[in-house]
Chain A
Amino acid sequence: MAAIQYEAPTTVEDAVGLLSKAKGTARVLAGGTDLLVQMRTGRVEPSLIVDIKKIPQIRKIKSEKGGFRVGAAVAGAEMSEHAAVCKAWPGIVEAFDLIGSTQIQGRASMGGNLCNASPAADSVPALVAAGATATVAGPKGTREVPVEKIPAGPGKTSLAKGEFVVDIVLPARKAGTGDAYLRFIPRTEMDIAVVGVGICLTLDKSGTCTAARVAVGAVAPTVLLVEDAAKALIGTKLDDAAMAALDKAVQAACKPIDDKRGTIAYRTKVSGVLARRAAAIAAERAKG
């Protein structure tokens, strides 16, 4: 039985060093709400666990250029308690807050939710819709990448050996912009999203949509940024016809699977429903 090594470095450099030199499987531990379950069920058998929570900046939210730099291990509950983030990006905070129970909220991190690379991760569509980026540290230094580039497929990321996500940058929210995230689950809590839709849109003074991003989760191997859905909204006043076009565009983009959580037909249909409902909420927020 191979022993597992546990390390809790205090700097990004040390963490990169440990991950780079690891033999066998190395796993980054942030909130641990996915990793520990995967270890317990034998889906992951790491030889090295690098707990990044002792790195100071990784547990902090910093205001920056009108936006925020959110450490990769900031827990959901900490986000929900941050008034400025809640005000700027309510959709992202709600999406994060939907992940699991109060107990899970005490631990689960946005970095973990992103890097676990589940197609159904709740925070990811909201981050993608908001145009968030991730700071990746690695042996060659750091790089900024759009969050949608991190997951590469179910359980797979684009991160190279030795790399990990240090923080996520939420951009400054432009005037007249609102975001929202809605997901569907069979119960009211504790389920994995059957479908999730994140929408960020900007309205001008007349109420016409001038920009939009629509991201859909759990309907493809990775979160989809649906450009046709955005086009359906831009230039409209989000009237019934625009909403119907949005619904149709989102459904057209879906490539879901049948599984224990939902059918192809169900996911497809409900993605359109949620898109309409999320767009309405985002629009209300955009109007302030």
Chain B
Amino acid sequence: MKAPLSVAVAIAIGLVVLLGYFMPFERLTSLRIVLLDWAVILAAVALLVGIGNLIYVHWRKSVRAQGESVHSVALLVSLFLTLGVVGWFSPTHPYSLWIFNNIQVPIESSLLAILAVLLAYALVRLLRRRMDRFSLVFVATVVIVLIGTAPLLGFDFPILGDLRSWLAEIPAVGGARGILLGIALGIIATGVRILIGADRPYGG
């Protein structure tokens, strides 16, 4: 087993935190809280490291004289500008909010907005790509719920509204619950695999 130390650490920390959840001992609980606190800090540091990696990647791309190097330069510039402004003033300072409101929000919500087209396009092609009852039920449901959500200008169709909410409140809830329970089982199994050292994503 490579890197026995890291494996030991992973397992030990995991087990302590897990026990901290289930064992009603004050000590364990507070220990769990401290450990999770550290984990949160580490995750935050990891984000910075990740951004370091982002910078590194785009630095290398931008020095490489190619078409997309311009993009990488733009990325680096905007990144450092934002770091500077938001860092110098606070995240909620008007200048920071100006960047947020006039660059980030427009782009991000536009990205979501084009999904309104791309998703419709995907559904149109879905039936050709995958013609089976699953897809048929899927598309039919989508259409019903869509038209049941809002009135067509002057004309309102209450029946559609009721059908929509029935779909959303009965069968959808049933299915979603089944999916969530299954996922929960998957999550537990995956976590356990890590805590017995079978999976070692941390370079082990």
- Asked whether A and B interact, the reply is no
